[in-house]
Amino acid sequence: MTYYIGVDIAKFVHYACIIDHLGEVHQTSFPFDNSADGFQLFLSKFSSYDKGDVVIGFESTAHYHENLFNFLSGLGFHCELINPILTKRFRSLNIRDVKTDSADTFTIATFLAFNHHKESNSSFNVSELKYFCIQREELKQKLSTEKI
């Protein structure tokens, strides 16, 4: 059985929810700090599951997701970054467009369940590509300055 964990990323306190492949809630939304202790609390909520059966997803929010993403990837968990525009559109499919931390975690987990592909592990490549694009723009600006 595959478990999908939706994480709503914030600056200081994240929220998470766990559902299975049928959409049944196994853990209602719970908060955890953006710290080592908070990450351990987060891990304790699904430590009984096999790593291969867990898919963790969160929206790409500036740089706030990077600590959790690197921590979980280092432990061998499958993590996916999701474009916030996609989750917003997915949330709008519901009749009641509710926007709370608890509702967001469920939306992210459900989005993962509908769109998950085991072979798509390119989330880290997206972060690298974003970094290289920024670097390229900076180099182009320096080159223009030098030419002037």
pLDDT number for residue 85: 80
Token reading at 12: 């200081």
Whose CA is closest to 11, among 63, 79, 71? 63
Q: Which is the CATH superfamily of the domain at 3-120?
A: ATPase, nucleotide binding domain (3.30.420.40)
- The helix (H) or strand (E) run that includes residue 3 is strand 3-8
User: How far are the Cα atoms of 33, 54, 122, 141 from residue 76, in angstroms, in the given order?
Assistant: 21, 10, 14, 39
What are the beta bridge partners of residue 6?
17, 57
User: How far are the Cα atoms of 30, 33, 148 from residue 8, in angstroms, in the given order?
Assistant: 10, 12, 46
Alpha-carbon Rg for the chain, nearest whole angstrom, is 17
Mean pLDDT per 10-residue run, the chain (148 residues)?
A: 89 90 85 91 89 86 83 88 78 62 77 67 62 88 92
pLDDT number for residue 26: 86
pLDDT number for residue 100: 63
